[in-house]
A and B are shown apart, each in its own frame.
Chain A
Amino acid sequence: MSRDTTLPVVARPPGTANRQMPTGARAALVVGLIYLFLVGVSSLEAGIKIMGADTQERLFSAVSNPIAGLCVGILGTVLVQSSSASTSVIVGLVASGALGVEQAVPMVMGANIGTTVTNTLVSLGHVRQSAEFKRAFAAATVHDFFNVLAVSILLPIELIFKPISGIAKWVSELLVGSGGTEWKSPVKKWVKEPVGWLKDLWDQFGASGNVKGALMVATGLVVVLIALALVTRNMKALVAARIERSLNAILGKAGGLVALVVGMIVTIAVQSSSITTSILIPLSAAGVLTLRNAYPVTLGANVGTTITALLAALAASSPDSLTVALAHTTFNIIGILSLYALPFFREVPVIAATAMAEIAVRRRVLAVCYVVGMFIVAPLLGVAILR
């Protein structure tokens, strides 16, 4: 059968996805980037150690108030738009001794709140269409409300009874033992050499003492942020079709455990809860996903995103860093068990988000005020007053 060549064939044959890089090469690139990320975390730890006990003491006292620590966690995450990045930095700081577990736990809780800014900003993109904006803003803020509720209940309990850090410490001891302040991470050995090269590099530029430490910290931060951003981008390209299939599987069906697990798996795959939750916003805006469908996916994303800090803890030499990473996971799991498993609490974020969306759609400027107030002004005030 001859074909009419005057008509361009736009549709692709099956199985030929729009990829620019072969899958194998992209997977190898991701492995390399994860290695680079671990080098960054280790460089951060090494930098703080070089800067000495005085600097560590100053950092330590700056966040000795748990609410200030919470606010630092929010601000830091808002700044880098990634809780994976901010919690990895926190893990690096704990590994260096600049932060203790007690100071770090409120900070990772703050990171949980801070990470919700991304999908809330995405929802503002629908501001011109009332109905879409209402659905999008509700889907975004349900994540905010859940995380704020979880922190407001679990942080005081943690400060008094320490159940989260207790469980995390117990698991950490099971995994790496409790002997001494150092543990021989297998990953640490692999990243030791490139960190040594970085030290040599700054030596050659004549840096020493605090300057060298600060340069190591800065290099570590840049490497962590760039590597993580590239890991996320490449993993998303690798697993996009799988994410699509998973989301299609939960479309229009009741939320719950399946959506929660899908959210967790997708987030582990792309190493970013912001990616997962931001994908949900246009779908919610279009009415493809209901608020109750999207809600558990965001909770799964909360748990999934903790994998990055656990990965970062592998490159650290202190068991405390693993304890903090595990505390992040434990906090999110307890949050889900206590607030989502119980029907009464489960509805609170949904009701609050729906009410907030009603207000935001009537006075759109309030939506912007909410974002600025919640994610910038309030944490800034918290740090300024309480540190």
Chain B
Amino acid sequence: MVLSFFRAGDSGLDHVVTRSVAMVNDARHSFDLACMALMSGADPQSVSDDVRETDLRINANEQQLRSELAVHISVHGPNDIGEVIGLILLLKKIERVGDHAKNILDLAESGVSFLDEPDIDELLEERRTVSGFFTEASEILAEHEGIPEGFRDRLGEMTSQIQSRIDAYMTSDQPGHQVVPRAVYHRYLKRIVANLNSAVLAATEPVRVIDPTE
């Protein structure tokens, strides 16, 4: 610990960004496992420990990195305030994604399974797309080159698609035990996509520029 002063290493913000990429990957891991329990017939108990431990790790990282951001501001002063605000938002969004992944697992643990549903292929495809968004988000955070063209549009389209499904469930004539779990699942899925969208935005544009001439 004492030698940390003499060792070379990432500056504070770079270190936080690196760790936040690992947190996104952790969140993806939780999401994939939780969805597997919901859609592939895997025993939810077999993945429960892993998902909950990963969620705890994400939460602990969020707390620790927020403390490190406080240290950064104390040492460097307000020069990096924009980036620090962005990173605090980013960490919060990733932590929420982790929470929603855990919520999906809770759904599976309460006995919900989509394995035998007629539209399982569609649901799996939807899950694959969302899982891919995690990968793209972590690449965006790691590469520092801004948001790839069309990425946020695709997230927006997915959000709309999920919302349409939720709307359809709300007015469905199907029995509650069939549509309610789907509506709840899609609600979590929508929040995950929205939080990933907010996370990349927070990292690249921490404070929205308000231009009165526009």
Contact = CB atoms under 8 A, between A and B. Distances in A.
Given A245-B5, A248-B12, A252-B67, A3 B74 contact: no
Contacts of A18: 76, 79-80
B17 A11 contact: yes
A269 B6 CA distance: 11
Contacts of A17: 11
B61 interface: no
B11 A3 contact: no
Interface stretch (A155-163, A220-228, A260-268): A260-268
A8 B1 CA distance: 37
A8 B202 CA distance: 11
Given A10-B204, A261-B2, A279-B75, A4 B149 contact: yes
A361 B51 CA distance: 44
A243 B82 CA distance: 21
A4 B71 contact: no
Most B CB within 10 A of own CB, among A10, A13, A15, A249: A10
User: In the complex, which range does the number of interface residues on chain B fall in?
Assistant: 35 or more
Interface stretch (B99-107, B140-148, B155-163, B173-181): B140-148
Given A12-B83, A14-B18, A249 B205 contact: no
Contacts of A241: 9, 11-12
Interface in A257-289: 258, 261-262, 265-266, 269, 279-280, 282-283, 286, 288
B10 interface: yes
B86 A248 contact: no
Interface string B184-214: 0000000000000000010111110100000
A10 B74 CA distance: 20
Interface string A105-139: 00000000000000000000000000000000000
Contact of A244 (B76, B201, B203): B76
A210 interface: no
Given A12-B83, A244-B71, A265-B5, A2 B206 contact: no
B79 A10 contact: no
B152 to A, nearest CB: 7
A36 to B, nearest CB: 25
A250 interface: yes
A245 B17 CA distance: 15
B67 A14 contact: no
B168 interface: no
Interface string B77-114: 00110110010000000000000000000000000000
B72 interface: yes
Interface in B49-75: 64, 67-68, 70-75
Contacts of B76: 18, 240, 244
Given A9-B145, A9-B204, A15 B6 contact: no
A11 B203 contact: yes
A258 B1 contact: yes
B149 A2 contact: yes
A95 B73 CA distance: 41
Given A244-B12, A244-B75, A9 B70 contact: no
Nearest to A237: B76
A4 B148 contact: yes
B72 A244 contact: yes
A181 interface: no
B5 A279 contact: no
B82 A262 contact: no
A322 B86 CA distance: 50
Contacts of A248: 4, 12, 67-68, 71
A10 B70 contact: no
A68 interface: no
B64 A14 contact: no
B204 A15 contact: no
Nearest to B13: A12
B146 A9 contact: yes
A258 B205 contact: no
Interface of A: 1-5, 7-15, 17-18, 239-253, 258, 261-262, 265-266, 269, 279-280, 282-283, 286, 288
22 contacts: A3-B149, A8-B204, A9-B144, A10-B83, A10-B86, A15-B11, A15-B14, A17-B11, A247-B71, A248-B12, A248-B68, A249-B2, A251-B67, A251-B71, A252-B64, A253-B1, A258-B1, A262-B5, A282-B73, A283-B71, A288-B70, A288-B71
Interface of B: 1-2, 4-7, 9-14, 17-18, 64, 67-68, 70-76, 79-80, 82-83, 86, 144-152, 201, 203-207, 209
Given A2-B148, A2-B149, 14 more contacts: A4-B147, A4-B149, A7-B147, A10-B82, A241-B11, A244-B11, A244-B75, A245-B7, A246-B2, A248-B4, A262-B2, A262-B5, A279-B75, A282-B74
